[in-house]
Structure 1
Amino acid sequence: MVFVHSSILHKVYAGVGALIFMVFLAFDTQLLMDGKRYSISPEEYVFATIQLYVDIVQIFMFLLSLIGER
């Protein structure tokens, strides 16, 4: 009975996941825009683009699971 299917628990998980990746998106954007302590150099533009892409896709997936019906 450890893995019980609960739609409320699934919605909470999706909401928390979306919030976490929104924080990641804000942090990665700050790194890209020359943050105070850490920053990404111009030579690492591919890495920065992949980071932003993954953050946005994960937010989208969590939001889809939050508003989707199963």
Structure 2
Amino acid sequence: MEKQGEHPVIYLTFKDEKHSEWENCKKSFSNLFSRLYLEDVPIQEGYTKGYYNKIIEFMRNLLSGGL
């Protein structure tokens, strides 16, 4: 518990990843991780520069609207 709250946490779920072939699944995972990496940069900047809650709220709304 001593580490709790020290670092940002990114929630990732695979519940909607339903593919009948491995190649499609792998491609989808790759896209998901690529998007996650691109999204992590502004989240990390927000964390280190003091606007973490605002960027998290923005990303949450952006991602939930796009899914």
Same topology, TM > 0.5: no
Identify the structure with bigger relative contact order (alpha carbons < 8 Å, sequence gap 6+): 1
Larger Rg: 1
Q: Give the structure-2-normalised TM-score.
A: 0.43
Q: Give the structure-1-normalised TM-score.
A: 0.41
